């Protein structure tokens, strides 16, 4: 049970009322936490992992004895600086805290209660709660997967998952690894694997790179991204890695694990071109089709969302990283996929804005540092928008599939079952397909199969997720015993929000002062 006021000791991190609770200790969360703390706020930083850094700065446990963990990372100095500031400050770092819901109570001196379970896998004995005057969501993203025949074989891993295995565990997914899917992450993953000793016969990119050339002003405004691409490209060239664009892995071969993949040319809609399939021997496949903002906590509170140019949903944020719900800020990938540097900038903006709100009750409109950060953010967001447009999945990818292909791995629902729900029973959206087939009812709650099911349900329509993200009362798995042990006498209230998360269209705002951010 959460401790009562009489039980709370002075050093108890759950006995304080914080000015700010930050959820997520990746690039955005770290930047927001240390910035707010340095401006005089009391800050709690909650994260599921045992060590700070998030997915981007995953690093091995000290027990591994890694001499130079920074060798596996890009821009390690930025992370090292944030870590020093965190250690020198007064932020309460609550590691191993799995936040499963956030409550808001209107009119209270402490309007926010963050509920979490502890332990490496959320298996702690008792639920905990953290009270705060404001909340910053920096929950990051997860990888988008599109199914194809054989993708459930051992040896098929997510592209980001392969990089996490290397950074955190110092292990490779295989000795001969094909990297496939779409998005700039593929180049970074392939370069890391090749540098670590894996043989990478090919990087298979379903999109092309000419789309970037059509946006020269956007590229020129963010030269660091070009520099990163050159570094990764040079590494791939040095290891003899072949880049195959407008191509996709359309089948995986093997009995007990991956033995080879078929790579086919695809057209602009990602439809396989007949007769172009070529078999490549490998013992592992690292595959991913971009990232999806993780916004379940925000949508449970009714935050407005916006469509991104690659068909996902992100939070609609104003110039100071505020969501549509008062007292709730967000930074990093929750507002749209943009990378580590952008996440740090947005986290700092949010930290300054929260500090100004708590101290002065207003946004820091005249803060020179904020104006500088906002200019940098807009340039990087423009590049992120171009990146999303270039690598947006084409609706023709569904032609990779046969009826026996599993689309929902948790519940073992096949493409044939989904197509039957659509054709025979009239399902036209992912929710109806779920009710008819159980697709999306498993452990991942549709995070892995949701995009694919929605696309199959839409048929020949455009590749978009449902009109708005589902509003879930629980953002992650939580034992029934935890729910049953909560003290009903503790003051709490259901989130004061609309019946569902509002969706706001993309809006061009050259002044950057109000309205949802593009």
Give one DSSP letter per residue of 59-93, joined into a string.
---GGG--S-GGGG-SSHHHHHHHHHHHHHTT-EE
CATH ID of 145-289, from 3.40.50.1820, 3.40.1640.10, 3.40.50.300, 3.50.50.60: 3.50.50.60
What tokens appear for 107 in the block? Answer: 């009119």
pLDDT, one tens digit per residue, over 441-479 is: 988 888 889 888 988 888 755 444 444 566 777 887 788
What tokens appear for 416 in the block? Answer: 């044939």
Find, among 251, 128, 256, the residue nearest to 178 by Cα.
251
Q: What pLDDT sits at residue 431?
A: 87
CA distance 295 to 303: 9
DSSP readout, 8-40? --TT-TTSSEEEEEEE--SHHHHHHHHHHHHTT
Find, among 465, 461, 431, the residue nearest to 451 by Cα.
465
| Check whether domain 16-142+292-387+475-485 has CATH 3.50.50.60, yes or no | yes
- Find how far residue 74's CA is from the centre of its chain: 18
State the residue for tokens 């009714």: 302
Cβ atoms of 25 and 140 within 8 Å: the answer is no
| Pairing state between β 260-265 and 247-253 | antiparallel
CA distance 200 to 282: 9
In 295-322, which positions are buried (b, 16+ CB within 10 angstroms) versus exposed (e)? bbbbbbbbbbbbbbbbbbbbbbbbbbbb
Q: What pLDDT sits at residue 454?
A: 86
The tens place of each residue's pLDDT in the chain, 518 residues long, gives: 333 333 333 467 888 899 999 999 999 999 999 999 999 999 999 999 989 999 888 888 887 777 787 777 778 889 999 999 999 999 999 999 999 999 988 777 789 999 999 877 666 667 899 999 999 999 999 999 999 999 999 999 999 999 999 998 889 999 999 999 999 999 999 999 999 999 999 999 999 888 888 888 877 777 788 788 888 889 899 999 999 999 999 999 999 999 999 999 999 999 999 999 999 999 999 999 999 999 999 999 999 999 999 888 999 999 999 999 999 999 999 999 999 999 999 999 999 999 999 998 888 888 889 999 999 999 999 999 999 999 999 989 999 999 999 999 999 999 999 999 999 999 988 889 999 999 999 888 888 898 889 888 887 554 444 445 667 778 877 888 888 777 665 544 333 333 344 555 443 333 333 333 43
What tokens appear for 327 in the block? Answer: 């007292």
Q: What pLDDT sits at residue 46?
A: 97
Q: What pLDDT sits at residue 498?
A: 37
Q: What pLDDT sits at residue 463?
A: 46
Q: What pLDDT sits at residue 265?
A: 97
CA distance 279 to 178: 11
Domain ranges of the chain: 16-142+292-387+475-485, 145-289, 395-458
Q: What CATH code is assigned to 395-458?
A: 1.10.10.1100
In degrees, to the nearest 5, what angle opens at C-alpha 320 toward C-alphas 319 and 323? 90
Domains 16-142+292-387+475-485 and 145-289 agree in fold: yes
Q: What pLDDT sits at residue 210?
A: 84
């Amino acid at each position: 049970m959460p401790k009562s006021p009489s039980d709370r000791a002075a050093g108890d991190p759950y006995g304080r009322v914080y000015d700010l609770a930050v959820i997520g200790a990746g690039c955005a969360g770290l930047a927001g936490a240390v910035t707010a703390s340095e401006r005089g706020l009391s800050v709690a930083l909650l994260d599921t992992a045992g060590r700070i850094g998030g997915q981007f700065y995953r690093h091995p446990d000290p027990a591994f004895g890694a001499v130079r963990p920074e060798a596996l990372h890009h821009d390690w100095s930025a992370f090292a600086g944030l870590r020093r500031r965190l250690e020198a400050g007064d932020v309460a770092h609550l590691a191993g805290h799995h936040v499963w819901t956030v409550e808001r109570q209107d009119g209270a001196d402490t309007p926010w209660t963050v509920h979490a379970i502890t332990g490496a896998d959320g298996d702690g004995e008792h639920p905990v709660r953290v009270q705060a005057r404001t909340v910053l969501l920096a929950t990051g993203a997860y990888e988008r997967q599109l199914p194809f025949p054989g993708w459930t074989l051992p040896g098929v891993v997510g592209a980001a998952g392969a990089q996490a295995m290397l950074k955190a565990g110092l292990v490779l997914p295989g000795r001969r690894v094909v990297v496939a899917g779409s998005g700039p992450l593929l180049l970074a993953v392939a370069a890391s694997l090749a540098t670590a000793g894996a043989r990478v016969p090919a990087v298979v990119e379903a999109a092309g790179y000419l789309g970037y050339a059509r946006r020269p002003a956007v590229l020129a405004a963010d030269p660091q991204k070009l520099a990163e691409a050159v570094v990764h490209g040079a590494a791939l060239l040095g290891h003899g890695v072949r880049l195959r664009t407008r191509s996709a892995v359309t089948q995986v071969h093997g009995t007990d694990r991956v033995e080879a993949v078929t790579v086919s040319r695809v057209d602009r809609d990602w439809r396989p071109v007949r007769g172009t399939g070529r078999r490549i021997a490998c013992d592992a496949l690292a595959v991913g089709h971009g990232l999806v903002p993780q916004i379940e906590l925000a949508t449970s509170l009714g935050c407005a969302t916006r469509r991104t140019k690659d068909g996902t949903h992100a939070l609609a944020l104003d110039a100071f990283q505020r969501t549509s719900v008062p007292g709730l800020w967000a930074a990093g990938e929750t507002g749209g996929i943009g990378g580590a540097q952008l996440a740090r900038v947005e986290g700092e903006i949010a930290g300054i804005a929260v500090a100004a709100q708590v101290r002065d009750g207003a946004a820091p409109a005249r803060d020179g540092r904020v104006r500088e950060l906002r200019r940098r953010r807009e340039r990087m967001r423009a590049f992120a928008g171009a990146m999303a447009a270039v690598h947006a999945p084409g609706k023709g990818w569904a032609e990779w599939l046969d009826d026996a292909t599993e689309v929902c791995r948790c519940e073992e629902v096949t493409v044939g079952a989904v197509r039957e729900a659509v054709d025979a029973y009239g399902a036209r959206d992912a929710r109806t397909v779920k009710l008819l087939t159980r697709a999306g009812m498993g452990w991942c709650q549709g995070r892995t199969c949701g995009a694919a099911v929605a696309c199959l349900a839409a048929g020949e329509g455009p590749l978009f997720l449902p009109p708005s993200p589902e509003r879930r009362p629980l953002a992650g798995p939580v034992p029934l015993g935890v729910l049953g042990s909560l003290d009903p006498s503790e003051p709490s209230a259901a989130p004061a929000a609309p019946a569902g998360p509002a969706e706001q269209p993309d809006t061009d705002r050259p002044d950057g002062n109000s309205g949802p951010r593009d």
